[in-house]
Amino acid sequence: MSKWDSSDIEKHKRIADVKLQDQRPYRGIASWISVHDLNISGDQASFARIYVGSAINNKVNSIQTGWMINPSLFGDSRSWSYGFWKGANGVGCYRCPGFVQVSKTDPLFGPLPQAPEGERNIGIAIHQVVNIQFDFKL
Protein backbone atom coordinates (compact mmCIF):
# COMPACT_ATOMS: atom_id res chain seq x y z
CA MET A 1 0.00 0.00 0.00
CA SER A 2 1.42 3.37 -0.95
CA LYS A 3 1.37 6.33 1.38
CA TRP A 4 -1.38 8.85 0.65
CA ASP A 5 -0.17 12.27 -0.37
CA SER A 6 -2.39 15.01 1.06
CA SER A 7 -1.61 17.22 -1.95
CA ASP A 8 -3.88 14.86 -3.94
CA ILE A 9 -6.99 16.00 -2.05
CA GLU A 10 -8.16 18.22 -4.91
CA LYS A 11 -8.39 15.14 -7.10
CA HIS A 12 -10.86 13.52 -4.72
CA LYS A 13 -13.17 16.26 -3.51
CA ARG A 14 -15.73 18.09 -5.60
CA ILE A 15 -18.13 20.69 -4.33
CA ALA A 16 -20.88 22.45 -6.21
CA ASP A 17 -22.86 25.13 -4.49
CA VAL A 18 -25.74 27.34 -5.49
CA LYS A 19 -26.11 30.82 -4.12
CA LEU A 20 -29.57 32.32 -4.05
CA GLN A 21 -29.93 35.02 -6.68
CA ASP A 22 -33.20 36.40 -5.39
CA GLN A 23 -35.38 36.25 -2.32
CA ARG A 24 -37.83 33.61 -3.50
CA PRO A 25 -37.81 30.41 -1.46
CA TYR A 26 -36.09 27.31 -2.78
CA ARG A 27 -37.94 24.11 -1.90
CA GLY A 28 -35.39 21.40 -2.65
CA ILE A 29 -32.45 19.98 -4.53
CA ALA A 30 -31.82 16.92 -6.70
CA SER A 31 -28.78 15.25 -8.22
CA TRP A 32 -27.38 12.09 -9.77
CA ILE A 33 -24.45 10.65 -7.81
CA SER A 34 -22.21 7.75 -8.83
CA VAL A 35 -21.66 5.04 -6.22
CA HIS A 36 -18.34 3.24 -5.79
CA ASP A 37 -17.14 0.25 -3.80
CA LEU A 38 -14.03 1.31 -1.94
CA ASN A 39 -11.63 -0.63 0.22
CA ILE A 40 -11.39 1.42 3.41
CA SER A 41 -10.42 0.53 6.96
CA GLY A 42 -12.70 0.60 9.99
CA ASP A 43 -11.58 4.06 11.09
CA GLN A 44 -12.22 5.65 7.67
CA ALA A 45 -15.36 6.77 5.85
CA SER A 46 -16.21 7.95 2.35
CA PHE A 47 -19.40 9.56 1.10
CA ALA A 48 -21.13 11.55 -1.61
CA ARG A 49 -24.11 13.69 -0.68
CA ILE A 50 -26.44 16.54 -1.42
CA TYR A 51 -26.90 19.08 1.32
CA VAL A 52 -29.41 21.83 2.08
CA GLY A 53 -28.77 24.30 4.86
CA SER A 54 -29.66 27.71 6.17
CA ALA A 55 -28.05 29.97 8.73
CA ILE A 56 -29.41 32.85 10.75
CA ASN A 57 -27.21 34.54 13.37
CA ASN A 58 -24.59 31.76 13.06
CA LYS A 59 -27.19 29.08 13.86
CA VAL A 60 -27.17 26.48 11.11
CA ASN A 61 -29.92 24.02 10.21
CA SER A 62 -29.04 21.39 7.62
CA ILE A 63 -30.25 18.18 6.08
CA GLN A 64 -28.29 15.84 3.81
CA THR A 65 -28.70 12.55 2.00
CA GLY A 66 -26.52 10.40 -0.22
CA TRP A 67 -24.41 7.27 0.05
CA MET A 68 -21.70 6.42 2.53
CA ILE A 69 -19.20 3.70 3.33
CA ASN A 70 -18.64 3.89 7.09
CA PRO A 71 -17.78 0.62 8.87
CA SER A 72 -18.03 2.20 12.33
CA LEU A 73 -21.59 3.46 11.64
CA PHE A 74 -23.04 0.63 9.53
CA GLY A 75 -20.93 -2.34 10.68
CA ASP A 76 -19.62 -3.29 7.23
CA SER A 77 -17.79 -1.88 4.19
CA ARG A 78 -20.74 -1.75 1.79
CA SER A 79 -22.15 1.43 0.27
CA TRP A 80 -25.25 2.50 2.22
CA SER A 81 -27.87 5.15 1.59
CA TYR A 82 -28.25 7.57 4.48
CA GLY A 83 -29.78 10.79 5.72
CA PHE A 84 -28.55 13.22 8.36
CA TRP A 85 -30.13 16.23 10.05
CA LYS A 86 -28.51 18.91 12.20
CA GLY A 87 -30.45 21.61 14.03
CA ALA A 88 -29.55 25.16 15.02
CA ASN A 89 -28.72 23.94 18.52
CA GLY A 90 -25.80 21.94 17.09
CA VAL A 91 -27.43 18.56 17.70
CA GLY A 92 -27.67 16.21 14.74
CA CYS A 93 -28.58 12.62 14.07
CA TYR A 94 -28.83 9.74 11.64
CA ARG A 95 -32.17 7.92 11.93
CA CYS A 96 -33.70 10.74 13.98
CA PRO A 97 -36.64 9.94 16.25
CA GLY A 98 -39.82 10.97 14.49
CA PHE A 99 -38.39 10.55 10.99
CA VAL A 100 -40.94 8.85 8.74
CA GLN A 101 -39.72 6.87 5.72
CA VAL A 102 -42.18 7.62 2.91
CA SER A 103 -40.84 5.52 0.03
CA LYS A 104 -41.57 1.79 0.17
CA THR A 105 -39.05 1.03 -2.60
CA ASP A 106 -36.08 3.28 -1.78
CA PRO A 107 -34.90 2.74 1.79
CA LEU A 108 -33.08 5.70 3.30
CA PHE A 109 -30.91 3.52 5.54
CA GLY A 110 -29.86 0.37 3.76
CA PRO A 111 -27.08 -1.13 1.68
CA LEU A 112 -27.20 -0.16 -1.98
CA PRO A 113 -27.51 -3.00 -4.51
CA GLN A 114 -24.40 -4.25 -6.26
CA ALA A 115 -23.95 -3.32 -9.92
CA PRO A 116 -21.05 -3.34 -12.36
CA GLU A 117 -18.66 -0.43 -11.83
CA GLY A 118 -19.66 2.55 -13.91
CA GLU A 119 -23.33 1.57 -13.79
CA ARG A 120 -24.10 2.57 -10.22
CA ASN A 121 -25.73 5.96 -10.28
CA ILE A 122 -28.46 7.00 -7.91
CA GLY A 123 -30.87 9.88 -8.26
CA ILE A 124 -31.40 11.61 -4.94
CA ALA A 125 -33.50 14.55 -3.84
CA ILE A 126 -34.43 16.57 -0.80
CA HIS A 127 -37.76 18.31 -1.19
CA GLN A 128 -39.67 20.47 1.24
CA VAL A 129 -43.37 19.90 1.49
CA VAL A 130 -44.52 23.49 2.04
CA ASN A 131 -45.43 24.24 5.66
CA ILE A 132 -44.69 20.66 6.75
CA GLN A 133 -41.13 19.28 6.58
CA PHE A 134 -38.38 18.09 4.29
CA ASP A 135 -38.82 14.79 2.47
CA PHE A 136 -35.86 12.59 1.43
CA LYS A 137 -35.97 10.55 -1.76
CA LEU A 138 -33.35 8.16 -3.03
Domain around 113:
22-137
Indicate the helix (H) or strand (E) that contains 47: strand 46-56
Q: How many domains does the chain have?
A: 1
Q: What is the predicted pLDDT for the residue at 43?
A: 85
Mean pLDDT by groups of 10 residues along the chain of 138 residues: 48 60 75 84 86 80 88 89 83 75 76 75 78 54
Q: Does residue 4 form part of some domain?
A: no
Each as own residue / partner, the long-range contacts of residues 96-104 (CB below 8 Å, 24 or more positions apart, any chain) are 102/135, 102/136, 102/137, 103/137, 103/138
CA angle 104, 105, 110 (to 5 degrees): 100
Q: What is the predicted pLDDT for the residue at 2?
A: 41
Asked if residue 92 lies in contact with residue 83, where contact means CB atoms within 8 angstroms, the answer is no
Q: Does residue 17 form part of some domain?
A: no
pTM for the full predicted model:
0.70
Q: What is the predicted pLDDT for the residue at 132?
A: 57
Q: Does residue 9 form part of some domain?
A: no
Q: What is the predicted pLDDT for the residue at 4?
A: 46
DSSP string, 56-75: ETTEEEEEEEEEEE-HHHHS
